[in-house]
Structure 1
Amino acid sequence: MKKFNHRDFDIETELITTRDGSIRGNLVNWDTVRRFQEEDILESLDIYLPWGEELDLWGYMEFIDQQIFREYPELLTEYKYDGDFSFENMRFSQVAKSIYDISIEFPAREDYGIDNIIDAIFEICEVPKGTMEEEDLPSDLQFWPSFISDEDNDFYISITEHELKVNDFQAKIKKLKDEIIQERDELKKKSMLLTCLILVESLVTSVILDKMPNIDSTNIKDIYHRKVVQESIISSVRNHAGRNKLFSQYFGEPLPQQSWISLRNSLAHDIGNSKLNKNIINVHGKDYNIISVIDKITNFSNELSKIIDKTADCSDENNMI
């Protein structure tokens, strides 16, 4: 018996973003898919339900002889609706003089309770239901794996855990730049650019958190105050202004210039509302050269690395004193 294969359908995904506009991933509402693609799903499963038709005896025999009913006969008897009615005791639409004249009235799709048997069929055929987010979606419906290859999964996990290092960041940006140059699909090209911009935020967050003392090693023992400090840190690193402020406090100078913030926000909130012509992307009437933006990102990471090294040298000198 056939099982549901999402690749046979055009599954619409929604984008999940955080409060500051960072992309968490995709979301699929499978209940919507079930509702609007029900007929196509049933057809793909080779299941024939002749809603509202009149069946002769042979038509009825063909109906109950379908593979799903042979394997799951309880679908014909145990899923009842409209009182005691079930598929095994459908109404005769007329008095027949002989068995060959029997006419059986198949229920209409909108009849009360029909949803129950459709749900049962879909459950057996493994049609997903409810809402499914990024981590639970098939890989081809996820947002991130479309732009980060399988061998980089560990790397992606590490950046979400704020463990991104400058060298790793630069290697990833270089790889994405090469892929962008070769990519012909407009949406993928824009999405890979957005990935580069989000990686910058992950790098800055990682650098800040690496510089901050571990709260477990501090003298803050009271649970409430520890929670206040933790929430304050989390709130700060989630937005551009907060990251800039924390960086200045811990490194004694501002972050290197980031001229792409408006571009990043526009792509994150409405990636489809931008126009791409080769390597020139137009957002709200302003043109950006994608390669130039990525080169600026690389320069940003170089400047960031210099600040980190300088701070580390000062720390070593103080320890010697």
Structure 2
Amino acid sequence: MMVNDKQPLAGKVALVAGGTRGGGRGIAVELGAAGATVYVTGRSSVAGRSGLDRPETIEETAERVNAAGGAGIAVRTDHSRPEEVRALVGRIAAEQDGRLDILVNSVWGGDPLTDWEHPLWEQDLDTGLRLLRQAVETHIITSRYALPLMVARGSGLVVEVTDGNTARYRGSFFYDLAKSAVIRLAVAQAAELKPHGVAAVAITPGFLRSEAVLEHLGVTEAGWRDGAAKDPHFAHSETPAYLGRAVAALAADPAVMAKTGRALATWGLYKEYGFTDADGTQPDWAAYWADALEAEYGPLGDPL
């Protein structure tokens, strides 16, 4: 089969679970730019907002996938509900002749549930456990129903989106547990999928310039550099497109099985694949950390 250099994922089918905003949206759009058909799922839809009550929708992401050159299909799905995920995967199988090449588990929604101020013994237990259900169980449910399509074809890539790729503590008990658990999900899936020719990896961005972060700093993407006045580290942030291009590069790599089971990062992958951020730069959060933050916070640590 001839490979289109500009759209190396032409003919491929992807599911981006949690593609409404942030990293999930960036991944969906860049998979589309590489030619893929992308099912974009989440709870925030034109039919109604999720509990986060934010304006971004899965339909808007699907439109951006289309504009980038792919085919975006929005399907409102609560990934904490097995019956909805089962129906979603059944629809993909029916519409795509059983094909699913790329599964991205990017469901999060844990920001309002994260307590950055208190140790475990002073936190609200129900809230913490709800964060784990939202950020970890949803990934498990989605993989449970989606993986059989990949196993049947003997190929595919699973991407678990996380924060950080080392054992360094992330500053809040339940947040750290969720993000670390997601890496372990990639490791476990990789072990079970390897005999079937399917790869599984975890991936982290650096300081992600998401819609919520831009809003928090009172800036827009067009004037994002002004946010460094409030947070100087923000000057070294990266857009969701950077993460998306990292995932698209992995998905187009015929040797991706060599990376299965690993916890990867944008700051390592850009060196291998040569992709850039939306503005043509190549942010390297690990290099910035080593130069500006390591003395105060210690090293990031070795990749898991």
Structure 2 length normalisation: TM-score? Answer: 0.31
Structure possessing the higher relative contact order (Cα contacts under 8 Å, 6 or more residues apart): 2
Task: Report the structure, 1 or 2, having the larger helix content.
Answer: 1
Q: TM-score, normalised by structure 1?
A: 0.30
Structure showing greater Rg: 1
